[in-house]
Amino acid sequence: MALELKNLYDDFRDAATIKAYAKIISEDAAKLDRAINIMEVCGGHTHTIMKYGILQLLPQNIKFVHGPGCPVCVMPKERIDHAYALAMQEDVILVTLGDMIKVPGSKGSLQDARSRGADVRFVYSPLDTLKIACENPTKKIIFFAIGFETTTPMSAALLDAVIKQKIPNILFHINHVTVPEAMELLLSDAECKIDAFLGPSHVSVISGSKIYEPFPVKWGKPVVVSGFEPVDVMESISMIVKQFLEKRCELEVQYKRAVKREGNLNAQKLVDKYFQKAAHFRFRGLGDIPGGGLELREEFDAYNAEKIHADILPHEPINDHKLCICGEILKGKATPPQCSIFGTACKPSSPVGSCMVSSEGACAAYYKYGNLV
């Protein structure tokens, strides 16, 4: 079985297939009358593009602009400060996903809080929080939830388990954000450079491809929902180029092996049970986005750390470092090498901006793979 899985995995990284798609794309792109700017919304796509040298395989008139689909990168400083303030409370264990540990807020990172005595733990699955709570019954466990639609069902499943098992010492700080609203904000910008989107497949497995249907119709922007392997990305680019060549503007799904139009209805039902759209959510670098985030429904206020500890949490927006251009990178208006502190004052060991911290961040991808095209 292990051998079979390995062979299947390798098929989506096959060099001959990637080169074949590169040839098809080049031939089709030569017939276009203008350049195409494709935004890969998700940082996972950015890393695939950089790691496998896809930029070098594409003709000059096919360009990528990097998007805001990295949940750590879009987390504003004031919400990092929320996590820091909660972690520093006596008898609190703050639990979150790994990438959040190093993101700098105005007071420092969660790693800094840990060095000052705070009990901060990262988990691979939100459900691991249950074990931490059971092992520490006299502590208050606060789960700092992050992520786009992909991880939201896991936070909902954790809350569902907490309620059903009557676990008294777990609270939630919700920072879940949504992809379509961020995409719409980018398109509403008069300086928008986006001609088409690669839609993130993992989000689409949960929410379904239907969430992208307005973009070809309302905004005139094609969307191809793409897997994350290099062959997936190359096929998706080819599909986008063919749409422009054939004067089409459609939603297409390349990642048909996992994405359906309706998505995972059970996961959606669980999310809707516990969460609702927030009036707005501030994205780092993008600003307030109406309906861009989720919050706990009022009937679950007893589990809402943001309300229970409102008196110790900052409420005013906190700006990024004046030399950091993460906001422009997340909008697709700049690339990491255009930042004056990229790779010098700002690098993974000493990140200034969130795009360098996260494993999905564009700056981290450029720094790691040394690909500065």
Let me know if residue 63 belongs to a domain.
no
Which domain range does residue 106 map to? 77-177+293-312
Asked whether residue 126 is domain-assigned, the answer is yes
Are residue 353 and residue 306 in the same domain, yes or no? no
The answer to whether residue 129 sits within a structural domain is yes
* pLDDT class of 204 with cuts at 50, 70, 90: very high
43-68 average pLDDT score: 93
Q: Are residues 333 and 297 in the same domain?
A: no
Q: What pLDDT does 2 receive?
A: 53
For a pLDDT cut of 70, what percent of the chain falls above it? Answer: 97
Query: Does residue 214 sit within a domain?
Result: no
Query: Is residue 193 pLDDT above 80, yes or no?
Result: yes
What's the average model confidence in pLDDT over 258-269?
A: 98
Q: According to the model, what pLDDT value does residue 39 have?
A: 96
Q: What is the largest CA-CA distance in the chain?
A: 68
Label residue 72 by pLDDT band (50, 70, 90). Answer: confident
Give the pLDDT confidence of 268-277 residue by residue, as tens digits: 999 999 999 9
Strand pairing class (275-277; 294-296): antiparallel
What are the pLDDT digits (tens) for 6-54? 566 788 999 999 999 999 999 999 999 999 999 999 989 999 999 999 9
Question: Has residue 93 been placed in a domain?
Answer: yes
Residue 128 sits in a domain of what CATH number?
3.40.50.11740
Q: Please give the pLDDT value at position 373.
A: 46
Query: What is the mean predicted confidence (pLDDT) over 211-228?
Result: 97
Burial class (CB in 10 A: 0-12, 13-18, 19+), 296: buried
Is 350 in the same domain as 306? no
* 313-363 confidence digits (pLDDT tens): 988 888 888 899 988 998 888 889 999 999 999 998 888 888 998 778 899
Beta carbons within 10 angstroms of residue 164's beta carbon: 8
Give burial (CB, 10 Å; 0-12/13-18/19+) of 6.
Answer: exposed
Helix, strand, or coil here: 151? coil
| Helix residue ranges, H only, 1-151 | 2-11, 15-29, 43-51, 54-57, 77-87, 110-115, 128-135
Q: Which residues contact 188 (CB under 8 A, 6 or more apart)?
A: none
If asked whether residues 132 and 81 sit together in one domain, one would say: yes
Length of the chain: 373
Would you put residue 332 in left (φ > 0), alpha (ψ -120 to 50) or beta?
left
Q: How confident is the model at residue 4 (pLDDT cuts 50, 70, 90)?
A: low
Q: Residue 238 pLDDT > 60, yes or no?
A: yes
**Are 243 and 250 a contacting pair, CB within 8 Å?**
yes
What's this model's pTM, rounded to 2 decimal places?
A: 0.92
State the amino acid at position 171 in one-letter form. L
* CB-CB contact of 304 with 172 (8 Å): yes
Q: Which SS3 state, helix, strand or coil, does residue 112 take?
A: helix
Range from 97-101, 163-167, 290-294 carrying the lowest mean pLDDT: 97-101
Among 21, 59, 16, which Cα is nearest to 238's? 21
Most confident of 283-287, 291-295, 328-332: 291-295
What is the C-alpha separation between 12 and 75, in angstroms, rounded?
32
The residue out of 312, 345, 361 marking a domain boundary is 312
CB 268 within 8 A of CB 207: yes
Residue 235 in domain: no
Q: Is 139 part of any domain?
A: yes
Strand partners, 143: 95, 172
CB within 8 Å of 19: residues ≥ 6 apart: 57
Whether 131 is in a domain gets the answer yes
Strand, coil or helix: 58? coil
pLDDT of 11 reads 87
In the predicted model, is pLDDT for residue 1 greater than 60? no
* Structural domains of the chain, count: 2
Please give the pLDDT value at position 6: 58
Task: Enumerate the β-bridge partners of residue 280.
Answer: 290
**Last residue of a domain, which of 280, 312, 344?**
312
